[in-house]
Homo-oligomer: A and B are copies of this chain.
């Protein structure tokens, strides 16, 4: 049984006429006759009664017709659905990102992507860099924005460096500025009241490591919040916090930004995906837009 045979069969059933059916499907009449005969031979039953000038379906033909139509419709649907995915009129992207990027970089990007491909569903997973890497490897995510370097035991992931962001100290505008001359050294954080993120934030480990490199353990006034909570605590005067400059820039006028002196602290954000399989079309497109609009190449 071939799709073409079913197409011819339906054409004859509708035209009730071999020659006109052949024209309708753009094939010569003998070819169509031959295919109908082949179909009849395979099924073991005549499909048409070929009374002269009055071609009609046999009972076997009647039984076949609705199924043939449905099969052809399904084939058409299949082509169409795949085409929708290819043309990005449908599909989805499962994107992971760290909380700071979710508020900083993503809104504009996702807005642009959605404007261009409104049919693609965007599923965002907000989480720590470690978790995101694990989910990528499991195939639960298509793409993730993670902090480099990746954990040593990372599975096969490809990464593209996306941007480096400076970390800055934020403090309440109502409090006296920390540090000196509008900048602050890591060493100045010793004994300073720090508001610290919960475990799992890469920022936490980065800050802790920097302090320890200077030979001291930082002091936490409050710890455990998400990004918004931390900024809120700082705003309320509970302490200061080390956050990405991109987050600080959006934090409003009631927060003061103080750059870190010396090399300061930076972290590298990369776009990661599994290296063994190509991401779906929609994810590749998002990746492309992300790299194209890369805010600061590094």
Contact = CB atoms under 8 A, between A and B. Distances in A.
Given A2-B3, A67-B77, A74-B67, A82 B277 contact: no
20 contacts: A1-B75, A1-B79, A2-B3, A43-B79, A44-B86, A45-B82, A45-B89, A46-B278, A52-B276, A54-B276, A58-B280, A59-B281, A59-B282, A60-B86, A60-B281, A63-B81, A63-B82, A67-B77, A67-B81, A71-B75
Contact of A78 (B1, B51, B74, B86): B1
B49 A278 contact: yes
A70 interface: yes
A79 B58 CA distance: 15
A81 B52 CA distance: 27
A83 B44 contact: yes
Nearest to A282: B59
B54 A82 contact: no
Contacts of A91: 59
B46 A82 contact: no
A68 interface: yes
Nearest to A52: B276
A279 to B, nearest CB: 9
A236 interface: no
Contacts of A58: 278, 280
Contacts of A89: 45
Instruction: Give the size range of A's interface with the partner.
Output: 35 or more
Q: How many copies does the complex hold?
A: 2
A280 B62 CA distance: 11
Nearest to A90: B63
A210 interface: no
A85 interface: yes
Max chain B CB contacts within 10 Å: which of A2, A276, A282? A276
A276 B1 CA distance: 28
A56 interface: yes
A64 interface: yes
A170 to B, nearest CB: 41
Contacts of A278: 46, 49, 58
B82 A74 contact: no
Nearest to A68: B78
A277 B44 contact: no
Nearest to A77: B67
Given A1-B79, A51-B277, A59-B280, 15 more contacts: A1-B3, A1-B78, A2-B2, A43-B83, A45-B281, A49-B277, A49-B278, A58-B278, A60-B86, A63-B78, A63-B85, A64-B78, A64-B82, A68-B78, A71-B74
Given A3-B3, A49-B278, A54-B276, A44 B75 contact: no
Nearest to A83: B44
